[in-house]
Structure 1
Amino acid sequence: MLKKWFHRNSADFRLINDLVVPMLFLQILQLLFQLGDQAIIGRLGVEEFAAVGIASSFIFLITGTIGILCAAFNIIGGRFFGNNEIPKFGQAFNTSMTMSIIIGILFELLLLGTGKWILGTVYDLNFAPATHYLYISGMTMGMNMVLFNFSAYFKNINQAKLLTFSFVAAGIVNIFFDYVLVFGKWGFPALGMSGAAVGSVAGYGASIIVCIYFFRKSSLFSFSLRISRPIAKQLLKLYFPMALQDLIEYTLFAMGIMAIISRMESEFIASYTVVTTLLEIIMIPMYCFASSCMTITAKAYGKQQAGYTKYSYLSLQLMLIFSIPLTLIVISFSYPLIAIITDKAVVISLVEHVLPLALALNLMNGLQMIMRSTLQAIDLEKWVLVYSGVVYAVSLVIIYVCIRKLELTGVYLGFGLSYLLLSLGYVYKLQGREPYAHAKTLSR
């Protein structure tokens, strides 16, 4: 029966996996470097480790929101490149890159002026080394946007494999400078948390240098700091609705969770950071399958292809084939994995207690991600925005109540409930969808 099922869907499986496999490779590389980074920070102390977790999560969330501009370039630039309009493709790249550099500089200046207040007020973290870490690592926001643009560029010209060289360079440089600057090895000063921030900046710098090298070799067009007003309008028209959805679903919700977590004991904060890192192992196939599902479904929907929703269910099945064994492996080898990140006994004990529950409930996260991607691909992104916004708001209240009685366990029970509500809503919305029910939308 399984053989017949695979044979019947083999063509669709190949279509999905052709997108998923290269993304999986890059995501795994990224996770390995992140684990190495945290393994170094985790040996400073529980308070330092917890502070880095809070500050870096804030940087990550803001970067994700402003980085949506580069996703808009990926769409617009892809259209130009697909139509062989290379000069316009170059204008789109130059415009997006220039805007990214400006936005990165502005946000770093804003962070220098408000970073201490943000950590103290939002996260209740009045720890001077954390503020210094935030100031330095804030430079990675603009650097990340530059790399996002290069990533979109290389994907559009079918040279995505070059990004691997860029990321390997970043990881090696980052871990090297983390090691020598955090602990003061080989004659370098011991900078502690600030050394980790310098290592991140150096790593991103190395990645950008590699990207510039391959960009110059491609010779499609020359780069210039220039903004094309018509293209900028197109970018912003796509950016605002996409950024608003990202802001609600990831930035505000995640900041709310961290604001709640940050008021717990430092051992709980550190444990939450470790669990989040280990969950990212399971999230790798989920992100990849959700992304590929969106791309394939959008193409099928645009062509008015019958049965376009099948890709969500096929992607879900493949995701579970990857994720369930991976979940069992992480549970079975939880202790050595945790010990790689931190050597603090109290943190290891807390993580071992909540990790199986967090991993099991996280499988529902993969379901809602794939279904959400499908809805976004068929012009239902506004409905997704409203529905998910309500669910996340309710979930924050539930998590706040649960955490007072169940501590860290309550956080993951709250996550599980939010994933369940999202999944049920998305599946319900997909039921009964007809390929040509929105012919007016399709013909735009």
Structure 2
Amino acid sequence: MKVLNWNKDRKFYNKMLNLAAPIVIQNLIQSSLSFVDTLIIGGLGVTAIASVGLGNQYLFIIQVLLTGVTGGAAVFTAQLWGKKDIDNINRVTLLSLIIGILLALILSLASFFNSSWIMSIYTKDIAVINCGASYLRFSSLSYVLLAITVTYSSVLRTMGRVKLPTIISVIALSINTVLGYILVYGMFGVHKFGAAGAGLSTLIARLTEMAAMLIIVGKEYKEVLVKIKLITTINLTLVKKFFSLTIPVVITELLWSVGISAYAIAYSSISTDAIASKNIMNTIEGLTWVVFLGIGNACAVIIGNDIGAGNERDALEHSRKFTEISVGLSVAAMVIIIILAKPIVSLFNVPQAVSQFAVKNLYVMAAFMWIRVLNFILLSGLLRSGGDTKYSMAADMISVWFVGVPLAFAAAKLWHLPVYFVYAFASVEEIAKLVLALPRVYSKKWIKNVTEAI
């Protein structure tokens, strides 16, 4: 195996850091929205923490669906940017916007009018259902706003323009934090909304985020600000290729997100304390994961640009470097998580039993960290950027639904194990995923130029 050399590969590392660093900051801020909500809600008790966490499971499905649409589009835009084909980048962006907005609108209406029923899918605790429904009703109004912001962020990212989304995310987090405290606890004479206040502050933050994105894109990056009239210039070949790549990504993200919701149902069958402990772990995991999301996105952009420009040799070399860097950093993250698990969990105002469960959940998360990171780089970074979205879909679907979910429910409902053991059995899906991903990567069949003949 070749040894990474900073001096020799300075150009590659500079490009990786220039792409990854703003993405890391942006994802850190996005994850902090959930972290801040959980910290703010913590003062209302375990029921409130559990309800907001389960309410976010539905939001999570929306987010991954949008990630699927924009992820499929990003395969195109990354390769198109390698060819400097702005016209087709605009057309792909428009298609992504139309689909994303329609999906968000449908799910937003379903959530707004059926929030209690949606909460009852995850838990039978009436107090948790009522509290979570009030949060979900407000937050559901932000889904269409999120679709617009995520689409433009994704397109700009594949073009290497990552600073704008980061700045906008800073604005959104600041608004969400300040308004969250005011609305949840009724400060400065404002009505006390409780858990619903967290949803309302998220809605206002998302609205500001979208408005800022459109204004700045219109001023600084006019070439990617799409116009509706472009729809008449989209040819059938582009549409077919777009859906052939995007649908597998959407299905992958949907089945994976529903799988995560299935895990949440398994955890909720244990106890409310188990749900609360897992939700605390999820917020910490989100903050931990931002580094690897940044590296994975940088990987997809760089390799997509390489393939679009016809540089297959560079794509293979860069894929090796990204894999080695990610594994090394994930091992370091594992050690840090183990050391800091107890101090971080102590920040949450929860009973001792919840705190102990959360710490043990973090230990399990740390143990599987390097495998999960490697899978993310291989499947989302390499295979997707190369246009091999169908194989990536199959690997995800098989590992989640034929390995992880059955083991999680067996551990929770048949063996009646504690939440951290249930989580450990669920994480076995990562081992199955790695077994499926490695042969495909080594075969080099994943490298496909999807921009040809459009």
Whether TM-score is above 0.5 comes out as yes
1:221-250 deviation digits (Å, cap 9, x = unpaired): 6765667156396254543222112112x2
Counterpart residue number, 1:261: 267
1:46-74 deviation digits (Å, cap 9, x = unpaired): 01111110111211222321453334454
SS in 2 for 1:252: helix
Distance 2:78 2:444 in 1: 28
SS in 1 for 2:312: coil
Amino acid across the alignment from 2:396: S
Counterpart residue number, 1:54: 54
| Distance 1:359-1:9 versus aligned 2 partners, 3 A rule | same
Distance 1:402 1:26 in 2: 36
Distance 2:104 2:174 in 1: 24
* More deviation, 69-78/101-110: 69-78
Aligned match for 2:440, one of 425, 429, 441: 429
Aligned 1:379-394 pairs, distance under 5 A: 379-393=387-401, 394=403
Counterpart residue number, 1:419: 430
Distance 1:227 1:314 in 2: 39
| Distance 1:390-1:325 versus aligned 2 partners, 3 A rule | closer
* More deviation, 300-309/395-404: 300-309
Distance 2:117 2:24 in 1: 38
SS in 1 for 2:428: helix
2:406 equivalent to 1:397: yes
Aligned 1:193-212 pairs, distance under 5 A: 193-212=195-214
Compute the displacement of 1:188 (Å): 0.8
Aligned 1:32-47 pairs, distance under 5 A: 32-47=32-47
Distance 2:15 2:327 in 1: 17
Counterpart residue number, 2:362: 355
Compute the displacement of 1:91 (Å): 5.5
Q: Is the 8 A contact 2:383 2:447 kept in 1?
A: no
Compute the displacement of 1:442 (Å): 10
Q: Is the 8 A contact 1:51 1:125 kept in 2?
A: no
1:96-148 deviation digits (Å, cap 9, x = unpaired): 44554444333222223333222223544542221121121111211110111
Counterpart residue number, 2:170: 168
Distance 2:135 2:410 in 1: 32
2:257 equivalent to 1:251: yes
Matched residues, number:
441
Aligned match for 2:234, one of 226, 231, 234: 231
Distance 2:144 2:217 in 1: 18
1:187-237 deviation digits (Å, cap 9, x = unpaired): 111111111100100111121222232123237267656671563962545
2:421 equivalent to 1:410: yes
Aligned match for 1:277, one of 279, 283, 300: 283
* More deviation, 201-210/332-341: 332-341
Distance 1:157 1:294 in 2: 11
| Distance 1:277-1:149 versus aligned 2 partners, 3 A rule | same
Distance 2:271 2:356 in 1: 15
Amino acid across the alignment from 1:347: V
* More deviation, 101-110/79-88: 79-88
| Distance 1:47-1:79 versus aligned 2 partners, 3 A rule | same
Aligned match for 1:135, one of 128, 132, 137: 137
Amino acid across the alignment from 1:181: L
Bigger relative contact order, structure 1 or 2 (CA pairs below 8 A, ≥6 apart)? 2
Compute the displacement of 1:381 (Å): 2.6
Distance 1:55 1:300 in 2: 40
Distance 2:19 2:76 in 1: 20
Distance 2:314 2:82 in 1: 25
Aligned match for 1:321, one of 325, 328, 338: 328
| Distance 1:420-1:39 versus aligned 2 partners, 3 A rule | same
Counterpart residue number, 1:242: 249
Distance 2:169 2:287 in 1: 18
Q: Is the 8 A contact 2:26 2:170 kept in 1?
A: no
Amino acid across the alignment from 2:303: T
Counterpart residue number, 2:385: 377
Distance 1:79 1:91 in 2: 14
| Distance 1:384-1:209 versus aligned 2 partners, 3 A rule | closer
TM-score where L is the length of structure 2? 0.85
Q: Is the 8 A contact 2:75 2:385 kept in 1?
A: no
* More deviation, 3-12/37-46: 3-12
Amino acid across the alignment from 1:354: N
2:179 equivalent to 1:177: yes
Distance 2:72 2:356 in 1: 43
* More deviation, 255-264/84-93: 84-93
| Distance 1:383-1:71 versus aligned 2 partners, 3 A rule | closer
Counterpart residue number, 1:111: 111
* More deviation, 164-173/17-26: 17-26
* More deviation, 252-261/372-381: 372-381
1:82-104 deviation digits (Å, cap 9, x = unpaired): 76666665565455445544443
Same amino acid, percent of matched pairs: 16
TM-score where L is the length of structure 1? 0.87
* More deviation, 93-102/389-398: 93-102
Amino acid across the alignment from 2:391: W
Amino acid across the alignment from 1:288: G
Distance 1:195 1:439 in 2: 47
1:318-362 deviation digits (Å, cap 9, x = unpaired): 223333333323322223311334343321122123322221212
Counterpart residue number, 1:149: 151
Aligned 1:70-81 pairs, distance under 5 A: 70-76=70-76
Counterpart residue number, 1:191: 193
For structure 2, the residue ranges without an aligned partner over 5 or more in a row are none
